[in-house]
Structure 1
Amino acid sequence: MQENTKWQNRDLAVLWHPCTQMKDHEAYPPIPIRRGEGVWLEDFDGRRYIDAVSSWWVNIFGHANPRINAAVKQQLDTLEHVILAGFSHEPAVTLAERLVEITPPGLSRCFYADNGSAAVEVSLKMSFHYWLNRGQHKKTRFICLSNSYHGETLGALSVGDVALYKETYAPLLMESIVVPGPDCYAREQGESCADVARRQFAHMERALGQHADEVCAVIVEPLIQCAGNMRMYDPEYLRLLRDACNRFGVHLIADEIAVGFGRTGTLFACEQAAVTPDFMCLSKGLTAGYLPLAAVLTTDEIYRAFYDDYERMTAFLHSHSYTGNPLACSAALATLDIFATDNVVHRNRDLSARMYDAVAELADHPHVAEIRQTGMVLAVEMVADKPSRTPYPWQERRGLRVYHHALSKGALLRPLGNVVYFMPPYVITPEQIDTLGSIAIEGIELATHE
């Protein structure tokens, strides 16, 4: 029996995998990975795969990165964990200082959580609680964009709009106000993405005008709706939204969990609109994929609304057992060190251009509606009919065909429905990008061949 088969059998006897119909594994068993190095993953039979999706968008500096490894190992010999209620430690303090320094101006307080969904929950609760402490008891609702995704916990699902994840649990969720978003895929003839943003913002303006007195916050994924098929929009929408939130007295929550830390061409996506949100949620690339950690950055004004004598019961009592874990904070500090010393964002511009060049020929493919890109995220949308942009029926699972072809060629591509995307670690080489491009082109050709 091959090593892979042995581990697959053991896996399927006990594990329940995330975001998976487990019956699929009867035909396609999970691939057991024994080691990683740089952009490569290696299974137990010695086959290697380029990790083109950064292992769910988290691994930005490669697997087993020596500098991050060293930081975590050093921390492991000093302090693995301590309760952060009533206690503190150097990695948590230093990381908070660094995050305050590099995030948009005005974000001066850092609250730690364990993962992206938890960070969204913190921001929702904190926004609601702020208004409660300020005596505005009617503010109990949130506004989100169509096609948005903010995580899998119940609060995060409530402010998302991807039916695949949300529909089943609808009876359990609070009711949010969903506003048509600024997705540039829907642009009309002759329209720019900025034009779409301005046109679509009328819906948000109207919603805020009607509901501001009952709304705590608007939550958005700046520039890219990642789980929503990598749909992208112009920074103009963020500028308009920041102004409107100010005018209507509503918080702005920027969910930069997937798009932060260099993904969009700037360290944070909000920089491209020169806006500061009231809350910024960070995770994924924060630790370069090493350990679970999230942070919610917010303003001193919001912090002060909770600061009072204990008897007034205004404190924010949200907590996680592993809040501010020292090992995770050390991995995050090493990650920020790499950004600080290696000119990462600038170097990514060349890699970003190479990514587009690698698949540019697909622009004329009869079943490709669009190639879209923001920074180090590139997406290719397959459709049944190009002129009308009629999508393939989801039941045909065309993206799954690309996935299996890519695996056979030594690459991990994990399409979102009919959207094939690249979101690789920043340590990828131009030549490896070319390889991914060739594999994706072959896979799309096979997947769209009737």
Structure 2
Amino acid sequence: MTTTTTALPAVPANTTGTGKCKLFMVALIVVVLAEAIGPSNFKLGPGKVVLLPMLWALLIAATWGIVQRYVPAPVRITASLQSYAGGLLNAGLLLFIVKLGLTVGGTLPLVRQAGWALLFQEFGHAFGTLALGLPLALLLGVKREAVGATFSVGREGNLVIISEKYGMASPEGRGVLAEYITGTVLGALFIALLAGFVTSLHIFDPRSLAMGAGVGSGSMMAAAIGAIAAQQPAAMVPELTAIAAASNLMTLVLGFYFTLFLSLPTASWLYGKLEPVLGRFSKRKSAQAVATAAGAEVEIRDLPFADKAISWALMAVGAMIGNWLSFQVQPVQSLIGMAIIIVIVSIVEVAKRLMPKMPLVLVLSIVATAVGVPGLFPFSDTVIALTGKLNFLAFTTPVLAMAGFSAAKDLPLFRQLGWRIVVVSLSATAGTFLGATLIAELFH
């Protein structure tokens, strides 16, 4: 995968060593606060909304950045530091992708047993978001943000893809971040209502609906299968739950590659074809044009190696804190596993510098997945055991903290997108559920 970069300054001139240290410490404070708050859930109608530490980190960091003028100078995150945070986010997500790849490698034997129906319904998950979301986005006047908001359901792996391809400060980056936030806050409730309504129509086999429920998010899957199972005989519930879990695993494992190689290129291509036709129905200006006119901060895309090392250290320490506070794994136990992940990233990063045209995310994901396959290499089982102590969710808190700081500078652009991006995000969620259900129905 190539990266669309231009000759941008690596780091803003006014980003000093003191400023970098300040951002490092404040980001860790945000991680601690978010993990201390912990997960929270509440009932809303027939569904349940689950708020995880990653969301608290995003909200705290974004608020911190927005009110930076009123924050004491020693902990003030200025606009230039917010741009620098975006650069750190782009680099830090590489640790996340290694953890994702190692997880994928370990689950490949299970995926092999899942069957053809689960494999083909993944096309519905991958393209269903586009079928509903992209045309609606263009009709509402959403521009390039539509690509980021509709090529997937916007989970963590999708943030990685957009960050590497376009950068998080790009229109596509704002789109996927809006999709992520919408899905985190409203996704479970929305899909529970949708799945319950579609089930009540009695036009799909319950097993097809269960496959559609595996959208790649644990909370959304649980909400959807709960609404589906409530309308089925009790004896059928265990089977449906198992199918939904297998489908969700398939989406988590293969969804990254489907979106990387299929849905994102398709989304970008369709945008170019459809926007001149559908976009004319809306007179809304492009958010990117507004950003350019306002002189928005330029995003950092190509950090020096030393700054990438700062990013990796920040993400590593933040993940170890989360692993300790939320999952009771002592930092000493996490340290070796984290060091292995950083070594893998460093090796691939060096290879990228020797071969500049090498697609970094693709190679990194392949290397991590291969290392994570049990018994494939003499050291694979040891690596799996040591990195297995690092909980996947612990990585998301520092990632979303940096995303929050990076997003703070783009608040006017998010305001301009407003309700439109929420509607588009929910339509993409509906599309992935309905698309997978329709394809699964062909096998039932």
TM bucket (normalised to shorter chain) is under 0.3
The structure in which a higher percent of residues are helix is: 2
TM-score by length of 2: 0.26
TM-score by length of 1: 0.26
Q: Which has the larger radius of gyration?
A: 1
The structure in which a higher percent of residues are strand is: 1
